[in-house]
Amino acid sequence: MQTLLLDSDDVDENALMADVISAVEDAFAAYERGDAQMPAKSYIDLPRYNGDFRSMPAYMDAGDWDAAGLKWVNVHPDNPRDHDLPTVMGTMIYSDPETAFPLAVMDGTELTMKRTGAAAAVATDYLAVEDATSLGIVGAGVQSYTQLDAIAAIRPIEEVVVSDLDDARVERFIDTYGDAFDVRAGSISEAGHCDVLSTVTPVEEPIVSLEDVAEHTHINAMGADAEGKHELADELLLAARIVIDDHKQCTHSGEINVPYHAGTLTDDDIYGEIGQLVEGGKTGRDADTGVTVFDSTGLAIQDVAAAHVVYEQAASEEKGSPFDLVGVHE
C-alpha cells in the first residue's frame, strides 16, 4: 500500500461534483446524528510574519463509508506581494480510520473550493424554489466558479448574473461560462433578484440589503469566515429564514456573527442547522417561506467528505503519484 500524492489538478479532476455534493450532504447528516467528531479549529498566530496556521481535523461515519483527515491551512496576506505566493494554501492529509495509514496527501486549496461549492448546493437543494433557473453571484473571485459548478448540478440554472467591483474578474468569469450559460455582468440588486444568490466577498460592511433580493430568493452567504465580516444587512437577515452549518462557528465567525454579538439577532432568529434539514428534523422551504439564508463557515467534515471522493476516484482510475511515505515496503 502506498500513499497517493494529489496536486491541485488531480483534486480538480477527481472531485466529481455530483459525488462531492452527495458526500457533503452525508457529512451534514452524520454531524446531526452525532456520528462525527470535529474538534474546534486551532490556530497558531505568527505576528512576525503577519500570518497564521489553522488545523482542522475530523472523522465522520456516513454508514456505508467512514473517513478521517486533517486540513492544515494558512492565511498570510503579504504572500502575493512579498513572495509571489497565494495568501491561503491548504494541505489535506487523508487517512484510513481503521489503520491510520495515510491514504493520500492532497492539495487542500482546490479541495476547499470544491467542498464550499458543494455545501452551497446542498443548502440550495433544500431551500431554493424547485424551479430555480437563475443564479446571482456577488464576488467574482475563485470561489464564484465552484458556486456555479455546484449549484448548476442540482438546479437547472440558465441565467447567471455576476457582480464585482473588478471588471477584469467579471470578464474572466463571463469568458469561462459564456458558452454554457446566459451569463452577464450586473448590479448587486440584479444578482439578488435571481432565484438563488451566492455572496463570496470578504467585506465587513454589508453590501446586500433587503431591497436587493426578491421575495423568494435563496441566499448562500459564503464570504464571512472571521469575526467582523458581514455581507448581508441586518434587516435582510431578520426577515429571512436562517439556516447555519454550525452554531459555534457561525456565531463566532459566520455571516451572523456581527448582529449576533450586537444582540440584534438571537438564537430565536436562527431556524436551524443544515443537518436538521438533511436528516428531516426540519423542513427546508415550504409554500409560505420567503427569503432564505444559508450561513456557511465551512466545516472540517466537509473537507474529509470531499477528500474521500477525491481519493476513491483517483485510486480507482490510478491517478496521482503513489509513494512510500511511511516505509512499509522497505
- Angstrom distance (rounded) from CA 186 to CA 93: 40
Q: Is 229 a catalytic site residue?
A: no
> 71, 114, 229, 248: which is the annotated catalytic residue?
71
Show which residues are catalytic.
71
